Structure 1
Amino acid sequence: MSDSLLGLDEPPQPRDPNASGAYRVLARKYRPQTFSELIGQDAMVTTLGNAIKRDRLAHAFLLTGVRGVGKTSTARLIAKALNCIGPDGQGGPTIDPCGVCEPCRAIAEGRHIDVIEMDAASHTGVDDVREIIEASRYSAVSARYKIYIIDEVHMLSKSAFNALLKTLEEPPAHVKFLFATTEVNKVPVTVLSRCQRFDLRRIPAELLAEHFARVTQAEGFEAEPEALALIARAAEGSARDGLSILDQAIAHAGLEGEGVKAEAVRQMLGLSDRGAIRTLFGLLLEGDAPGALASLRGQYDLGVDPQAVLRTLLETVHAVTLAKLGTDANSGQSAEELKSLERWAAGLSFPALHRLWQLVLRGHDEVARAVLPIEAAEMALLRVIHASQLPDPGELARQIASGSVTISGGGAPAAAGPNGAAMPTSLGQLADYLEEKRRFQLATQVRDYLRPVRFAGTEVEFAAARPLPFDFIKELGAALKELTGTNWKLLCVDVPAQAMTLREEQAASEQAERDAVLASPMVAAAMEAFPDAELIGWSKTGS
């Protein structure tokens, strides 16, 4: 294989924090050299250990996970584990490579001739893969296995993947493939099916904080636990990202002659002070608009991003919800913060918390897109305050149903139906009368087709809203004579009637009633708080 394929990134160096020479960043210096140093991946280490002990090693491994969780480090550790010969030179594959034999040292230093690393991001073509295929036919020079580590394997072209398939399915016994990727969904299923897959988990913030504490101690610095917790949360499960942030924090502490302080980390990351956020959250719950806006402006003046404030408010709402559920507290939370969370959890219902989450989340998204971020953040907080005293949707529905919410502008009362022998006195009563007597088609036609002009006893004049069926008047007259025993005079006039049909009148009444419901202060506020909500199933009859 050509030298152009060698070198995925900076080759790992033997661990010696005090070694002389050029400074190496913490992410390189503290790269795990044994599986016991690989944090947060216990399940994978157990599986690999059992496979090695039972000699059930797959010919290809696929390591996937977010950035910085240890995919490449794990691949190198697997290469060590498979090729370790022990201090006496007689050992076999082991989950605990010695680190002192020649293969272990050579792999750690990135100079082992039989462990080849390739960055697929810069070697995507089929020719690069053909070099691997050709070289894989030859036995290892000095190691037990010839190992190919391909990072970001999803970057290979389709033709490169296709060229690799046959060799990947039936490789020579002395060859192992180790693939790493952050986007496993882009790897063809034909490749996935030929690999043993390990999904590396995000590293929990608690484990990261403990790891960072050991690193700062090894570097000869002191660090506040809260500062390390802030860095661990900002790392989002990535050891590499966290160590890069810690590197910056230690550099700042070195200039100041102090340890790593939580306040310095907040300023460095642009995070809002959690105490200030608790104050702001309390003001929101109290409905104190001037106080909340002043608190937000105070943090903004200190250089805190408005979006970061809303993001921390989201974290607070989430933490309160978890506290209400009774889950274990986050190790990075102070006693004061825990006390506040418990108090809010006792006073807020789940619907209220869900509403708060939706309102703050909507504000966070608006600020992210806003031309004026601080103004957008202020409007978002005012929206939260405006909705803070609203009942939850279920309670709101109960209030509307019980009539405790006053709604103006209701439609006209429904026409009274005929009472026994009484004759219909309006077109509406006529339709109801026909329906009561089970003449449903005629009742529907009266409602849909006729606009009233004059209704006097048994003389009815109407205009047609649409062309009438040919024998409609004849059938209606015969039905009324049969039902009432009286001849009816039915006349369709050509003079346009101003009135609506009964169906049009009903639709207009329901629309007016719906508009009145939406215009009521409580419902209007609820619709503003829940922009995707709809008013459905509402009518005067409650159907």
Structure 2
Amino acid sequence: MDEMGFDLGEPPAPPPAKGEAYRVLARKYRPQTFAALIGQDAMVQTLGNAIKRDRLAHAFLLTGVRGVGKTSTARLIAKALNCVGPDGQGGPTIDPCGQCEPCRAIAEGRHIDVIEMDAASHTGVDDVREIIEASRYAAVSARYKIYIVDEVHMLSKNAFNALLKTLEEPPAHVKFLFATTEVNKVPITVLSRCQRFDLRRIPADKLAAHFAHVVEAEGFEAEPEALALIARAAEGSARDGLSILDQAIAHAGLEGGGVRADAVREMLGLSDRGAVRELFGHLLAGDGAGALASLRRQYDLGVDPQAVLRTLLEAVHGMTLVKVGTPPDPAQPVEEREALSEWASRLSFPLLHRLWQLLLKGHEEVVRAALPIEACEMALLRVVHASQLPDPGELARQIREGGVQVAPAAAAAPRPAAPALPATAEAIGDTIAQTGRMALAEAWRNHARPVRIEPPEIELSTARPIPSDFPRELMDALKIATGTRWKITTSDAPGTPSLREAERADDEAFEASIRETPVVAAALAAFPGAELIGPKTRRSMT
């Protein structure tokens, strides 16, 4: 532990002797204590409390993005549970000594009772059966027999099923530690039997500080901006960041002068921040030629067009955050923060949102394009054109205040009157029939109980069931027939009777009125069992 509170894992080794294999930084500085885990304080506190109170789960699931320390945490838990202390008399502890035989053997990967399995290459049920059989036997020399299964989501369905019973009721001497980057692929039956820890992405400022101490321990120098670039590129992964740092140190070793920001930017293929600010200035000024020239200069230097648009998106996002008042990113250079603040003060929220949408669409096009640089140029020209358009909100305000003259309606060319839309249930049924969709027209007559008909909107009752695809088919037919997009909604209101129900009620009322006439009533009374065979509906009389 140094004076800044960073535990750099194992002490830095001397330069490798001749014939000795070089250990990459990601392995050399793998955390050997819980204190060395960066950004996982909540998990460490929970584990520490569980160990102190002897409330240890029998299975742990560690999930998170690559390189945040899932496998390292699993090994640390194995050490914490099996540590016996320097005197051999200690018990489980959140601060394993690192000196006893169990701690050393686990750190070196040679402890017989700590078994690691890569589920990506051992996916079958037979591999799990071996674990189940072996788990019945007590640990050889450790307090607990521990199984560490990496990328557990790769196990087959049958393998998971075979593991369930043992996972739910394992022997007292067995602990399972699972690690995965895709927790959504782990069956819920397994998740419910594990204590889950979500390892967080490591913040960029903490990664940059950690890399600074690693560089110092390695005897090199590095510019703070270079380390900030590496921390951003790592995307929350300590392992990825250390791998990039390893490459940057090797690059600096050839050129001298330590790890420089421009060298890291070139190595990562990132756009130069100054060049991006110049390009963004051309875009806001509506200078298409200047924007294209700036883009081509970066392209000629080897910068990928996707990287240019990605950096512009980051800039727009940064301006928006500044405008809403979020705290500044400590990993950002001072001049970049000043530029973002200055732009944020000049640009409105609607314009920032428009820039974001245009750049995002351009980035998607460049990703798919056969000609990436040409697609990038076209995307930037769209941004230039959009920057010259008036802001809709400001334009509306000027119109309200009389600052913009709107041409009178009489000056506009007369438009032909649109045909009236069907506004009754009968008219709608006839309109559907005109499209030739007779089955749909019949369904309208039999099932539709309108709550409201206000063209081009119809609200249908679902108090009695209607076919699930009926509203969509009705909307399509009316659009074809009228050329207007209709909105069909449903509600549980009772609605009016369907056309068929209305016709049936009218028929019954008409027949009742015929039967009640004096002549018909007298005839039916004089001849019991007689039937009325004449017209029974008003429609049959027309």
Question: TM (normalized to structure 2)?
Answer: 0.73
- Aligned equivalent of 1:196: 195
How far apart, CA to CA, are the structure 1 residues paired with 2:174 and 2:407?
79
1:256 maps to what in 2?
A: 255
Q: Which residue of 1 aligns with 2:434?
A: none
After TM superposition, the structure 1 = structure 2 runs for residues 296-335 of structure 1, keeping only pairs within 5 Å, are 296-335=295-334
CA shift digits 1:104-129 (9 cap, x unpaired): 00000001000000000000011110
Q: Do the aligned partners of residues 248 and 280 (structure 1) sit closer, same or farther apart at CA in structure 2, a change above 3 Å counting?
A: same
CA contact (8 A) 2:12 2:217 kept: no
1:128 counterpart = 2:127: yes
Q: Secondary structure at the match of 1:387?
A: helix
The offset of 1:342, in angstroms, is 1.0
What is the alpha-carbon distance in structure 2 between the residues aligned to residue 384 and residue 294 of structure 1? 15
Question: For the Cα contact (< 8 Å) 2:222–2:260, is it kept in 1?
Answer: yes
The alignment partner of 1:190 has SS state of helix
Name the amino acid aligned to 2:364: D
- 5 Å-filtered alignment, 1:139-178, equals 139-178=138-177
Matched AA of 1:51:
A
The residue that corresponds to 2:184 in the other structure is 185
* 1:466-513 deviation line (CA, Å, top 9, x unaligned): xxxxxxxxxxxxxxxxxxxxxxxxxxxxxxxxxxxxxxxxx89x99xx
Q: What SS class does the counterpart of residue 380 from structure 1 fall into?
A: helix
- Separation of aligned partners in 1, 2:321 and 2:408: 38
Q: Is the 8 A contact 2:10 2:29 kept in 1?
A: no
Q: TM-score, normalised by structure 1?
A: 0.72
Whether 2:240 is the aligned partner of 1:244: answer no
Q: Which residue of 2 aligns with 1:61?
A: 60
1:17 counterpart (13, 17, 21): 13
1:39-54 map, 5 Å: 39-54=38-53
Three-state SS of the structure 1 residue aligned to 2:54 is coil
Tell me the equivalent position of 2:354: 355
Q: Which residue of 1 aligns with 2:31?
A: 32
Cα drift, residue 395 of structure 1: 4.4
Q: What is the CA distance between 1:222 and its match in structure 2?
A: 0.1
1:282 Cα shift? Answer: 1.3
- Give, as a single letter, the amino acid of the residue that structure 1 aligns with 2:389: L
Q: What's the counterpart of residue 265 of structure 1?
A: 264
Q: Which moved more, 1:87-96 or 1:323-332?
A: 323-332
- Structure 1 residues 35 and 311 mapped into 2: Cα distance closer, same or farther (>3 Å)? same
Give 1:410 deviation, angstroms: 4.0
Give the 3-state SS of the residue equivalent to 1:259 in structure 2.
coil
**2:72 aligned residue:** 73
Pairing 1:383–2:382 present:
yes
The residue identity in structure 1 corresponding to 2:127 is D
**1:148 aligned counterpart, secondary structure:** strand
Bigger shift: residues 362-371 or 171-180: 362-371
- Paired residues for 1:192-231 under 5 Å: 192-231=191-230
Q: Distance in 1 between matches of 2:250 and 2:291?
A: 35
1: distance between equivalents of 2:407 and 2:167?
Answer: 73
Task: Tell me if structure 2 keeps the 8 A contact 1:14–1:109.
Answer: no
Q: State the distance in 2 between where 1:103 and 1:178 align.
A: 17
- Aligned with 1:118: secondary structure? strand
CA distance in 2, matches of 1:392, 1:81: 61
Percentage identity across aligned positions? 79
* Amino acid aligned to 1:366: E
Q: Distance in 2 between matches of 1:371 and 1:108?
A: 49
Q: What stretches of structure 2 of length at least 5 have no aligned partner? A: 1-8, 432-481, 486-542
Q: Which 4+ stretches in 1 moved above 6 angstroms? A: 398-403
Does structure 1 retain, via aligned residues, the 8 Å contact 2:34–2:94? yes
**Partner in structure 2 of residue 275 of structure 1:** 274
Q: Using the TM superposition, name which of 367-376 and 384-393 deviates more.
A: 384-393
Give the CA deviation at 1:289: 1.1
Aligned equivalents of 1:103, 1:256: Cα separation in 2:
44
Q: CA separation of 1:114/1:260 partners in 2, compared to 1, >3 Å: closer, same or farther?
A: same
Offset, 1:257: 2.3
2:462 alignment partner in structure 1: none
